[in-house]
Amino acid sequence: MCSSVDAQEFRVHVREWLIAHVPENWREQLRGSSHDEYVQFQQWWLKELRAGGLLAPHWPVEWGGGGRTLEEQVVLYEEMARFPAPRPNIHLVGLHHTFHTLLAAGTEEQRAKHLPAILDGEIWCQGFSEPEAGSDLASLRTRAERDGDVYVVNGQKVWSSYAADAKWCLLLARTDHQVSKTQGITFLLMEMDSPGITVRPIRQATGNQEFSEVFLDNVRIPVENLVGEENQGWQLAQVTLAAERGPGAIEMAERVRAAIDRLIVDTVRRYGDSQRVPTEVKAALSRYWSRAEMLRELCIQMIFASQQTRSTGYESSVIKLVFSELLQDLTHYATELSGPLEHYRAEPMPGEGWDSHNWLLDYIGSYEWTIAGGTNDIQRNLISERILDLPREPRWTA
């Protein structure tokens, strides 16, 4: 797909840069490290990527980005995944969600204040999901009431990635309770050291704790931190969420393919020779490889179609569904194939989710992806209604 001369030259440049700058055995170095050590590593890696001109390929040059073509962005994410290189995990909300949100509806003052700071390492989190509004985000209950030149906010958020480390938060709060669920929601920028904010990390089954609960008790947010128009936050939130489904989707597809390659190598090593691998195991590995190829093709089609429509559309729901279920099935099968006891004592790798290169930990971490970015049940609803044009309610006939 990426065959232009410029893109191929860029591919060579990226490969050479990765060879020179990615730390050898970086996963082993991080395994068992503390959360603070992981954050320090991520801050260092962000500076490396920025110095190499690879940190924000999708940002315009005038805002300090790479100004890369869509084709070059795909090349970069392919090579990052194939190497494989670390992902700037703790900075993804700032680099993608915040950037696209401010580009779409932020003021010039907001852009000038926050975009350079993000490139300097400012960490952002997202305050969308709530205990009673996860899969049904429009049911959020966090309230923001106007008091002169501030909004006074009360409520609770949950599953906020890196909220304990973040300087700023993309916050959704309800400002009008007399209208429908998707109306009356306002989009605010909240400084995380504001009085009234309590952050409680959530310890996961893997031992990691990058997610947090965030409690808001009379938090005062200046009106100048309003993004877009009051009560129009739902529409802007769709822009924010769509940022997860751009060219970076190809990186996730490539990382799944790399995981299958690793499983094939592990399997051949376990049986001693490729000829000794049972037929049913070969068939299963072939099925996972085919599903990964389909996922990659879906990503490519969506990315280049979005160049024309300026939107990823509801096809992104298909990709999210295919990716998360493939990931869960693959890591489950790999854990069964290798035997969970082989990896039982493995130390977790902070922040790497399913890509720790330990099948048991990756299987546990894969469940996150069936929830994050909208649960798979919600994705099925969107696909049935918006793509297949099925009715919301069954049409019973006599």
pLDDT tens, position by position, 325-364? 999 999 999 999 987 665 555 666 777 667 788 888 889 8
User: Do 159 and 67 fall within a single domain?
Assistant: no
Q: How far apart are the first and last CA of the chain?
A: 51
Range of the domain at 81: 5-87
- Indicate whether 107 belongs to any domain: no
Number of separate domains in the chain? 3
CB-hemisphere CA count at 13 Å for 140?
31
- Indicate whether 116 belongs to any domain: no
**pLDDT for the residue numbered 320:** 87
User: What whole-number distance in Å separates Cα of residue 136 and Cα of residue 174?
Assistant: 14
Return the minimum-mean-pLDDT range out of 97-101, 137-141, 191-195, 370-374.
370-374
Q: Of 208, 231, 254, which residue is a domain's last? A: 231
| CATH number of the domain within which 198 lies | 2.40.110.10
User: Do 302 and 344 fall within a single domain?
Assistant: yes
User: Do 66 and 133 fall within a single domain?
Assistant: no
- Model confidence over 31-49: pLDDT tens digits? 888 889 999 999 999 999 9
User: Do 254 and 380 fall within a single domain?
Assistant: yes
Catalytic residue check, 244: yes
Under the banding of pLDDT at 50, 70 and 90, the label for residue 397 is: low
Under the banding of pLDDT at 50, 70 and 90, the label for residue 1 is: very low
The CA-atom distances, in angstroms, between 242 and each of 27, 100, 291, 300 are 29, 9, 23, 16
Report the amino acid identity of residue 215: F
User: Do 138 and 219 fall within a single domain?
Assistant: yes
User: What whole-number distance in Å separates Cα of residue 176 and Cα of residue 143?
Assistant: 9
Contacts of residue 52, defined as CB under 8 A and 6 or more positions apart, other chains included, come to: 17, 21
Region 369-389: mean pLDDT is 83
User: What whole-number distance in Å separates Cα of residue 347 and Cα of residue 201?
Assistant: 19
- Indicate whether 27 belongs to any domain: yes
Q: Quick one: DSSP state of residue 282?
A: H
Q: Of 207, 231, 255, which residue is a domain's last? A: 231
- Model confidence over 99-130: pLDDT tens digits? 999 999 999 999 999 999 999 999 999 999 99
**pLDDT for the residue numbered 53:** 96
Length of the chain (residues): 398
Residue bearing tokens 């129009």: 232
User: Do 256 and 218 fall within a single domain?
Assistant: no
**pLDDT for the residue numbered 207:** 75
Cis previous bond, 86, omega within 30: no
Region 235-253: mean pLDDT is 81
User: What whole-number distance in Å separates Cα of residue 341 and Cα of residue 329?
Assistant: 19
Query: pLDDT at residue 385 above 90?
Result: no
CB atoms within 10 A of CB 132: 11
Q: What percent of the chain has pLDDT over 70?
A: 91
Query: pLDDT at residue 79 above 50?
Result: yes
Residue bearing tokens 């006939």: 397
144 DSSP β-pair partners = 153
Region 158-182: mean pLDDT is 94
User: What whole-number distance in Å separates Cα of residue 148 and Cα of residue 360?
Assistant: 53
**pLDDT for the residue numbered 210:** 86
| Predicted model pTM | 0.88
Residues 22-52 as b/e (b if ≥16 CB within 10 A, e otherwise) read eeeeeeeebbebebeebbebbbebbebbbee
Marked catalytic residue, from 130, 244, 254, 315: 244
Phi and psi at residue 212, to the nearest 5°: -145, 160
User: Do 363 and 267 fall within a single domain?
Assistant: yes
User: Do 293 and 341 fall within a single domain?
Assistant: yes
Query: pLDDT at residue 161 above 60?
Result: yes
Query: pLDDT at residue 70 above 80?
Result: yes
Higher pLDDT, 286 or 340: 286
**pLDDT for the residue numbered 328:** 95
- Indicate whether 105 belongs to any domain: no
Return the minimum-mean-pLDDT range out of 5-19, 213-227, 246-260, 320-334.
246-260
- Indicate whether 394 belongs to any domain: no
How is residue 171 written in tokens? 């916050």
Higher pLDDT, 367 or 46: 46
- Indicate whether 178 belongs to any domain: yes
Under the banding of pLDDT at 50, 70 and 90, the label for residue 250 is: confident
- Indicate whether 323 belongs to any domain: yes
| CA angle (319, 302, 75) in 5-degree steps | 100
Query: pLDDT at residue 147 above 50?
Result: yes
The answer to whether residues 50 and 111 touch, using CB atoms and an 8 Å cutoff, is no
- Indicate whether 92 belongs to any domain: no
**Residue whose C-alpha is closest to residue 159's, from 350, 348, 368, 377:** 368
Query: pLDDT at residue 203 above 70?
Result: yes
User: Do 364 and 268 fall within a single domain?
Assistant: yes
Query: pLDDT at residue 312 above 90?
Result: no
Region 167-181: mean pLDDT is 94
User: What whole-number distance in Å separates Cα of residue 195 and Cα of residue 188?
Assistant: 16
| CATH number of the domain within which 349 lies | 1.20.140.10
User: Do 303 and 367 fall within a single domain?
Assistant: yes
User: Do 302 and 350 fall within a single domain?
Assistant: yes
Q: Of 231, 263, 290, which residue is a domain's last? A: 231
User: Is 279 in a helix, a strand, or coil?
Assistant: helix
Please return the burial class of 104, using the count of CB atoms within 10 Å of its CB with bins 0-12, 13-18 and 19+: middle
User: Do 269 and 216 fall within a single domain?
Assistant: no
CB atoms within 10 A of CB 331: 24
